[in-house]
Amino acid sequence: MYSRAKIIIKGLVQKIGFRKFLKDNALKLDIKGYAKNLSKNKVKLFIEGPKDSIDKMIEICKKGSDISLIKEIKVEIENYKEEFTSFEIK
């Protein structure tokens, strides 16, 4: 079963390599989509892939990297659309 999620991560997540951290984990989990900086201290992650991989990625987002500080995370699960063919940093 495949799933899709839109995730907004708030905290110390910009200018510390956080989007690369997300991409590296997404590639390990066979997840496609993108990570994009939003306004100050926010990153948007839009991902598709196997449901168990999406669930693992959500947990990774909650914990963050060694140098990030996650203050808030919002997750919206959507129907899988097979929209993405790779994972990009925007």
- The CATH number fitting domain 2-89, selected from 3.30.70.100, 3.40.50.300, 3.30.750.200, 3.40.50.1370: 3.30.70.100
pLDDT score, position 72: 98
C-alpha 18/C-alpha 62 separation (Å) is: 12
* Ranges of each domain in the chain: 2-89
Ramachandran assignment for 58, one of left (phi > 0), alpha (psi -120 to 50 degrees), beta (any other): alpha
Residue 73 has pLDDT above 90, yes or no: yes
pLDDT digits (tens, 9 = 90+) for 25-54: 999 999 999 999 999 899 999 999 999 999
Q: How confident is the model at residue 68 (pLDDT cuts 50, 70, 90)?
A: very high
Residues involved in catalysis: 19, 37
C-alpha 30/C-alpha 42 separation (Å) is: 24
Global pTM value: 0.94
pLDDT score, position 40: 87
Residue type, 27: L
